[in-house]
Structure 1
């Protein structure tokens, strides 16, 4: 297992370890996945309220993970010009990181159904009330 320093994910709230695990089973290289995660992260910041109205979520160490419908995920990712393989890798990375955060949250169910995906967004201090 690698450490989080192997793949630099910058401001994206997805660990390098998750990116490497996802990259083992998909076409894009870890660095391409990390770049796509950064692009998506920039668009996700500030969207907490929209997800909170419709999704189950947990907050762990300044990061919020949402469990959303895969159709909602498809709508979200359609705003980007990612290729099919990159879009799938980004979804897998977000879902894997969300599962880990749900598992780390006391009392939360970390099981995602096949029609659900995860979205992970960092929380800045202004949004923490």
Structure 2
């Protein structure tokens, strides 16, 4: 599998490059491997906006939607991708940190996630904007 660089992954996965690099460090996974995992995961998440909007609290900031999801739901999202434990932990960290940042930047100014909540961020396709 080709390794995605952090700039390309940041763009494709709607997660800041610095957050990706911190997540890789925290999860003890190579940045390139985490980038690949984030890009693959984001491609799958694009079609799930409606599901998350029905079930989760969310904000939209600069073309990216951030959702608060129960931690067990995030785990279920990662099943089936074949990610190892480090990639799973890195993806969880990156998504949650980016979601917290977007919730804080929103007009709500709220980044207080519960103990059992994680974040999911998904770019918004122009076709999905109404």
TM-score, normalised with respect to structure 1: 0.91
Deviation at 1:7, TM superposition (A): 2.2
Alignment partners' CA distance in 1, 2:37 and 2:25: 16
Question: Map of 1:62-101 to 2, 5 A cutoff?
Answer: 62-101=63-102
1:94 touches 1:120 (CA, 8 Å); kept in 2?
Answer: yes
Secondary structure class of the residue paired with 1:25: helix
Secondary structure class of the residue paired with 2:6: coil
Count of equivalent residues: 124
Secondary structure class of the residue paired with 1:66: strand
Alignment partners' CA distance in 1, 2:74 and 2:63: 22
Question: Map of 1:16-95 to 2, 5 A cutoff?
Answer: 16-95=17-96
Unaligned runs of at least 5 residues, structure 2: none
What stretches of structure 1 move > 3 A for 4+ residues in a row? none
Which structure has greater helix proportion? 2
Deviation at 1:31, TM superposition (A): 1.2
Unaligned runs of at least 5 residues, structure 1: 1-5
TM-score, normalised with respect to structure 2: 0.90
RMSD: 1.2
